[in-house]
């Protein structure tokens, strides 16, 4: 009888620990950059390749905590993979310009994060190709400050900055005609 009570007690403790750890893993906020995009951009994304440098490719929002330290957040994640979101956001912006549809883009994102002081950093390089011939390579940097505290304000500022960079890329492509 005593051993049966111990088995029941051990089982209930293990079940409680398991359900607690599952609950803790599921409790996080997720953020998106693309909920307001027109679904037509899905076709345009084929000409755009976005590559994220680590730790941006970990699925979580990244915060710069010092001159040499980046923190990958545990409870603030991207709703979809960040590279796919940036690919769709790029297609959305570029589709608003009369660009040659044969041009493809290789975008390498080095920085896409906020910081503990509210500063937002984005840096990337873009190579534009026409029929596998490089027509330009350029680097782009965006720095700004969040208007409010919090992750929502950070995500909105990151989106604003990325759109600004993509508009500059569109202007650069238009200038080489």
Query: Would residue 2 count as lying in a domain?
Result: no
Per residue in 23-75, pLDDT (tens digit) is: 455 688 899 999 898 888 777 777 999 999 999 999 999 999 999 999 999 99
Q: pTM of this prediction?
A: 0.83
3-state secondary structure of 174: helix
Cα separation of 12 and 164, whole Å? Answer: 55
Tell me: the pLDDT tens digits for 43-56? Answer: 777 799 999 999 99
What whole-number distance in Å separates Cα of residue 169 and Cα of residue 163?
A: 10
As for how many domains the chain has, the answer is 1
Write the CATH number for 108: 3.40.50.10610
- Is 53 within a domain? yes
């Amino acid at each position: 009888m005593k051993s049966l009570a111990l088995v029941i007690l051990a089982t209930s403790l293990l079940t409680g620990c398991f359900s607690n750890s599952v609950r803790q893993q599921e409790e996080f906020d997720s953020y998106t950059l693309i909920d307001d995009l027109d679904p037509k951009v899905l076709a345009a994304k084929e000409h755009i390749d976005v590559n994220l440098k680590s730790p941006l490719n970990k699925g979580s929002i990244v915060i710069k905590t010092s001159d040499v330290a980046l923190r990958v957040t545990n409870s603030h994640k991207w709703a979809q993979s960040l590279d796919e979101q940036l690919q769709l956001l790029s297609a959305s912006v570029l589709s608003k310009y009369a660009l040659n549809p044969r041009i493809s883009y290789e975008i390498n994102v080095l920085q896409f994060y906020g910081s503990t002081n509210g500063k937002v950093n984005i840096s990337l390089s873009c190579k534009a190709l026409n029929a596998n011939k490089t027509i330009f390579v350029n680097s782009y940097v965006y720095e700004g400050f969040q208007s409010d505290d919090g992750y929502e304000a950070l995500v909105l500022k990151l989106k604003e900055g990325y759109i600004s960079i993509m508009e500059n890329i569109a202007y650069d492509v238009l200038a080489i005609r």
